[in-house]
Amino acid sequence: MERIPILGMGRFLLVTIQVDMHDRLAMTLQSDLTDRIVQTGARGVLLDISGLDIVDSFMGRMIANIAAMSRILDAETVVVGMQPAVAITLVELGLTLPGVQTALNVERGMMLLRRATAGSGEDEEIDEALNYQDGDASSPG
């Protein structure tokens, strides 16, 4: 089955949409991405839509859904690379993507994600705390 690739980059996932998306492909991406967030414990998703020459209300809803689902799974989403003509059309269509963070390009998107998930070392602290608890609980027995 046709799929949009999801690349791991440290604590983040990078999704670059380069094909003209038909509806089923968009639905598959939603489920693939949420699976990957849970498997990898990713803290952020960078969604690069520079390859999309239109975003209609269906795709807009998919982008908003991805951001909402990721947030519930403790990962931030930043949408990057929207073409100017797409931005103009989206606003006239009436789609403003509330709750979706955007950045102009991948580089700025990465900066935004790093900042949003900063306080790093936090993950390691949580891991240590969990290991400590495990060790503590198992030692008496």
Partner 1 sequence: MPVVRDELLRLESTHDIVAVRHEVREWATALGLNLVDQTKIVTAASELARNALEYGGGGTACLQALEEGARKGLRLTFEDRGPGIADIALAMTDGYTTSGGLGLGLSGAKRLVNEFEIRSTPGEGTRVTITRWK
The binding site for partner 1 (CB under 8 A) comprises: 20-24, 53-58, 60-61, 83-86, 88-89, 92-95
Burial of 101 (0-12, 13-18, 19+ CB in 10 A): middle
CB of 15 vs partner 1, minimal distance in Å: 19
**Residues 97, 63: contact at Cβ < 8 Å?**
yes
CB of 27 vs partner 1, minimal distance in Å: 10
Q: Give whichever of 80 and 86 is closer to partner 1, judged by the CB atom.
A: 86
| 103-123 b/e (C-beta count within 10 Å ≥ 16 → b) | beebeebbebbeeebeeeeee
Q: Which alpha helices (H) appear in the chain, and where do they start and end?
A: 23-40, 57-72, 84-93, 106-116, 122-138
CB of 83 vs partner 1, minimal distance in Å: 8
Burial of 35 (0-12, 13-18, 19+ CB in 10 A): exposed
Q: Give whichever of 94 and 140 is closer to partner 1, judged by the CB atom.
A: 94
CB of 135 vs partner 1, minimal distance in Å: 48
Q: Give whichever of 21 and 42 is closer to partner 1, judged by the CB atom.
A: 21
3-state secondary structure of 35: helix
Q: Give whichever of 40 and 89 is closer to partner 1, judged by the CB atom.
A: 89
Q: Give whichever of 68 and 85 is closer to partner 1, judged by the CB atom.
A: 85
CB of 42 vs partner 1, minimal distance in Å: 27
